[in-house]
């Protein structure tokens, strides 16, 4: 399905990806009223990432008592350093592992972390 009338928003996300590929990390907030298509824009952008960036997806819980660091728990690759740090409850190790996950080694593609429903 093609996304209509969202070229500007997708161009902004592409610009942030280009900056990340150049070594300058960026944070982008996709916001708007409920039902306006924020998730559709993010999904369309994620489809464009194939072969260009590592993508991780997490979501904030819509619960009375959300899970601590729930979006990172969702995004953490199973068995990786971030998952281990989260399981151990070591805040410093979680911080370091998150930076390692999102950082770039020589020749690696940039990383994109999408956190849905931050409110």
pLDDT at 1 over 90: no
Residue-range definition of the domain harbouring residue 71: 7-116
1 is a domain residue: no
Q: How far apart are CA 99 and CA 85, in angstroms?
A: 12
Q: What percent of the chain has pLDDT over 90?
A: 71
Asked whether the predicted pLDDT for residue 117 surpasses 70, the reply is yes
- Answer yes or no: is 2 within a domain: no
Find out whether 58 and 74 touch, Cβ atoms under 8 Å: yes
> Which segments of the chain are extended strands (E)?
54-59, 111-116
pLDDT at 105: 63
Residue 116 has pLDDT above 80, yes or no: yes
pLDDT in tens, 71-92: 999 999 999 999 999 999 999 9
Tally of domains within the chain: 1
Residue 11 lies in a domain: yes
Please give the backbone phi and psi of residue 31, each rounded to the nearest 5 degrees, phi first.
-135, 165
């Amino acid at each position: 399905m093609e996304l209509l009338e969202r070229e500007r928003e997708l161009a902004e996300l592409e610009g942030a990806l280009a900056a990340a590929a150049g070594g300058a990390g960026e944070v982008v907030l996709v916001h708007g009223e409920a039902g306006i298509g924020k998730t559709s824009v993010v999904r369309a952008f994620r489809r464009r990432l194939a072969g260009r960036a590592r993508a991780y997806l997490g979501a904030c819980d819509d619960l009375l008592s959300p899970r601590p660091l729930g979006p990172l728990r969702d995004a953490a690759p199973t068995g990786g350093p971030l998952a281990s740090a989260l399981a151990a409850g070591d805040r410093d190790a979680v911080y370091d592992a998150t930076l390692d996950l999102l950082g770039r080694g020589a020749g690696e593609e940039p990383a994109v972390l999408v956190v849905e429903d931050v409110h």
